[in-house]
Structure 1
Amino acid sequence: MIGYVKMDKRESIFKLVTDERILILIVGIAILWRCVLSSDETISFWECVCSGITLFIMGWLLFAYMYSTSRKQTDWPVTTKIYQGIAASLLVLNIYVVIYYGMRWFRLLHEEVYIPLDFVFCDIRYLMFLLCYCSVLWTARYLKAMRDKYRLLIKEEPKSHAMSMKESVLWVTMHERTLTVIVIAAILWRVAISLDHTITFRESAISCVILLLLGWFLFGYVCALSVKARRKIELTRVIQGIAAGLMAINIYAIFYYGMSWYVLILGMGDVSGTYVPFDLLFRDIRYIMLVIFYCTAIVLSKFLDKAYTDYTVPINKSANLND
């Protein structure tokens, strides 16, 4: 009896924190919070600490939930992979947040874009990451429904068929080995351009194009998948939530490079593109972590596609079929 009460309490809390109205309220409070902080165009140490703790709590609790749930038994195996994919993506973002706020709190990071405009970029980053976490939180509600309410009816692997040129290119692009090569290439690229402690406009443009290609290609693929999977309501909602999180990170990347180029074009700040070591190190870390995030999200999208192709039935219906 006590076990059922605890379970009901957990379910109630879960439904509460994943409710759309609560998530909208959280985002609204975050916007007001950042507006108040930035009213004097400065962000104090304690204000930075409060913002960091908020993201820490959301990010690591979400990661813990996704990872722990992925270890539970389910009748639809691909949902376990989806949980693992989301957990891996969250882990990358969480590590990035830890590195950023750690460098901020220990005063190792001096300038990100241009000191008089850094407070604007801090607001954008905070809101976009919070929006990403809220999107994942909203997704968790429907992903749980997929795991609990459906089962895979046919467990045999479907017979392979000849892939078209488009399918072949997509398969190669999204293969794990290709993604590994992309991550290694990104690391080598950042090491090469950072040796002289200077990043030129051309080098910045190349880095930006690579991120935009990865981010918006993935966003477009996920959106197209949500259209194909519209008959599976819960799966569609999961895909839409992940797409919203991707869009938030993509907007963050666009704002960063947009503001950097704006400063460079107008000749504000250090137009030579020369940075102190820790500032340059953080730029390299940010770029590499974003590339890794996109690559893990690409792997996640493959699991979503697998869920779309799986033939499933409600658990109560499958029980009747077995009878």
Structure 2
Amino acid sequence: MGVNDSSETGVSGGQIALLGILLVAILWRVVISLDGKITFWESLCSGIPLILLGWVLFGYCYRHTRGLKGWIISNYIYQGIAICLVVVNSYVLIYYGMRWYRLLAVEAYLPLDFIFRDIRYITLVTFYCSVIWSAKYVKKMHEEYISRAKRKTVQQLMSPNLHHRSTKLSEMELADIVMDERTLIVIIGLTFLWRIFISLDYEISIWESLISGIAVILLGWIVFAHLYFLFSKQRNWLDLLKVYHATALGVIAMNLYTLVYYGMRWYRLAGSEEAFVPWDFLFRDVRYFILVMFYCASLVLSTFLKRAYVEYTILSTGKP
């Protein structure tokens, strides 16, 4: 009873801490946006903590890809989270580097650019909070799996067929992961070719922006729907369910950011012609490519989570 109470208190305390981080971020952006502009030092105070948080989280996840022993799937899950972090962290570095060197002019819609930057900042903080949340429960998943595996050791020795079924299943799931990764590589390749094609004339028309935006918006919500479908079928492992919820939260945050960006962008393109600004033009391509890579990395992560559930089910019931 005492252990359970302690665990629940830890969970509640962790959730309160994450909500506190998000609330501080919101209040900070409200305060610096009251005058309708964001100064250089305010941008520094916003960007440096965000960059540090992102790379500290990456270091934590990367360490666990090597440090956890006994169940390789937990290492794969941490690898999936680390890949998502590398993608988002790279975007944050590129954005703030260009912003601090005054290489960006207009991102979405000039009169409301500072509001868009606020939305993006809160989106990124929400994503990092979701990573903190998920990373905690991946470790709990690992500990529970190892605990069950130790209890099942004698049964596996007495029933070799159980180990055989588990091995075959692992081989099958690994083949599925390879196929998924090949599909995602094709998606990333097509994205790269598409952005090169529409950028050849140094101008992105409204119909090109519509095609790009609708495609990435659909991809984002397909990823969320896929995660929702998986965790709706896998509710009997609470720690895994919480990892799914955290992953879905991160995807939703990115989806809302994408919707806001393209909504403002299309409004601007529909209302007037825009001048060619080389760095803005390049940054839009980089942002698009990073969004696609993030969604693809999230799909790979969902594959690892699915495999974790299947192996946990075999361990618990002896049935594939």
**TM-score, with length taken from structure 1:** 0.84
User: 1:208 aligned to 2:213?
Assistant: yes
1:106 to 85, 98, 101: 101
CA shift, 1:114, in A, is: 2.3
Q: Is the deviation greater in 114-123 or in 305-314?
A: 305-314
Partner of 1:5: none
**Could you say if the C-alpha distance between residues 174 and 41 of structure 1 is closer, same or farther in structure 2, counting changes exceeding 3 Å?**
farther
1:180 to 185, 190, 193: 185
CA shift, 1:262, in A, is: 2.2
What is the distance in 2 between the residues matched to 1:106 and 1:174?
42
1:261 to 234, 256, 266: 266
Partner of 2:302: 301
What is the distance in 1 between the residues matched to 2:247 and 2:11?
20
CA shift, 1:136, in A, is: 0.9
User: 1:92 aligned to 2:87?
Assistant: yes
Partner of 1:31: 26
User: 1:117 aligned to 2:117?
Assistant: no
- Which string of whole-angstrom CA distances, capped at 9 and with x for unpartnered residues, describes residues 271-316 of structure 1? 22443110000000000011111111111111011011113699xx
1:246 to 223, 227, 251: 251
**TM-score, with length taken from structure 2:** 0.85
Identity %: 47
Partner of 2:224: 219
CA shift, 1:91, in A, is: 0.4
Partner of 1:157: 168
Q: Aligned pair count?
A: 290
Please give the residue correspondences for 1:52-67 in structure 2 after superposition, counting only pairs within 5 Å.
52-67=47-62
Q: Does the CA-based 8 Å contact 2:50-2:125 persist in structure 1?
A: yes
What is the distance in 2 between the residues matched to 1:18 and 1:282?
39
Partner of 2:160: none
CA shift, 1:197, in A, is: 1.9
**Could you say if the C-alpha distance between residues 117 and 68 of structure 1 is closer, same or farther in structure 2, counting changes exceeding 3 Å?**
same
Partner of 1:291: 292
Gaps of 5+ in 1: 1-11, 162-170, 318-323
What is the distance in 2 between the residues matched to 1:233 and 1:172?
24
**In structure 1, what residue type is equivalent to 2:251?**
L
Equivalent position SS for 1:230: coil
Gaps of 5+ in 2: 1-6, 153-162
Q: Does the CA-based 8 Å contact 1:17-1:23 persist in structure 2?
A: no
**In structure 2, what residue type is equivalent to 1:277?**
P
RMSD: 2.5
- Which string of whole-angstrom CA distances, capped at 9 and with x for unpartnered residues, describes residues 61-118 of structure 1? 1110001011023332211100000000100000010000000001111110122211
What is the distance in 2 between the residues matched to 1:213 and 1:71?
35
What is the distance in 2 between the residues matched to 1:18 and 1:246?
24
**Could you say if the C-alpha distance between residues 159 and 32 of structure 1 is closer, same or farther in structure 2, counting changes exceeding 3 Å?**
closer
CA shift, 1:174, in A, is: 6.7
What is the distance in 1 between the residues matched to 2:94 and 2:214?
24
What is the distance in 1 between the residues matched to 2:299 and 2:38?
35
Structure with greater helix share of residues: 2
Please give the residue correspondences for 1:137-148 in structure 2 after superposition, counting only pairs within 5 Å.
137-148=132-143
Q: Does the CA-based 8 Å contact 2:177-2:303 persist in structure 1?
A: no
Please give the residue correspondences for 1:126-141 in structure 2 after superposition, counting only pairs within 5 Å.
126-141=121-136
CA shift, 1:247, in A, is: 0.4
Partner of 1:168: none
Equivalent position SS for 1:43: coil
